[in-house]
A = this chain, B = another copy of it.
Amino acid sequence: MKVSSKGEYALRALLLLGNHPGKVLGIQEISDKTMVSVHYLEQLLLQLKKLGYVTSKRGAKGGYMLHKGPEGINIGEVIRDLEGPLSPMGCASITQYEPCPMEAGCQLKPLWSLVRDTIAFVLERTTLEDLLQNRINKLEGEDFVVIKRPS
């Protein structure tokens, strides 16, 4: 159930950019502060650019900045874009469903679907702005939060 370092690194970079709104940050600086190698960051940022999350400025004094506002960057989407479906199994994926020969009468699929839904619930309701503002534990106060399952 891991998120790969690819996703982690990309989010670190997005967070850093979000923490310096309006500023163009060079890869070297991003590398220093995220502890990710310059070359690997290059690849990630290129991908994030193609996906529309960041823009770049080439040449001397060039670098990267966020393309959308942090409240418009959805963490679930970012992870999906970089790592594929949030679902633990293809058979339970909404965005990239994959059929399975055992699916009829499968006693596991309901569980995978539930896991998918809970993961998606958390990640799709979190934006970069939430992370920047440390707004993750907004569930504090209540022991349990009841969530309506999308029907």
- Which residues of A from 1 to 60 have beta carbons under 8 Å from B? 1-3, 8, 11-12, 15, 34-35
Determine the chain B residues whose CB is within 8 A of the CB of A148 once the complex forms. 139-145
A94 at the interface (CB under 8 A from B): no
Complex Cα–Cα for A29 and B126 (A): 46
Binding site for B on A (CB under 8 A): 1-3, 8, 11-12, 15, 34-35, 75, 79, 83-89, 101-102, 107-108, 110-112, 114-115, 117-119, 121-123, 126, 131-132, 134, 136-137, 139-149
Query: In the complex, what residue of chain B is closest to A150 when comparing beta carbons?
Result: B143
B140–A111 touching, CB < 8 Å: no
B119 touches A137 (CB 8 A): no
A and B contact pairs by CB, cutoff 8 A, 11 listed: A1-B79, A2-B2, A34-B102, A35-B101, A75-B111, A114-B122, A114-B136, A114-B144, A118-B118, A145-B145, A145-B147
Contacts of A134 in B (CB 8 A): 107, 110
Q: Point out the residues of chain B lying under 8 angstroms from A117, CB to CB.
A: 144
Interface centre among A3, A12, A86, A101 (most CB of B within 10 A): A3
| A84 nearest CB across to chain B (Å) | 8
Which one of B1, B131, B147 contacts A146 once the chains associate, using CB atoms below 8 Å?
B147
If A115-B119, A119-B1 touch, does A137 touch B108 (CB 8 Å cutoff)? no
Question: What are the residues of chain B within 8 A of A35 when measuring CB–CB?
Answer: 101-102
CA distance A85 to B86 in the complex (A): 17
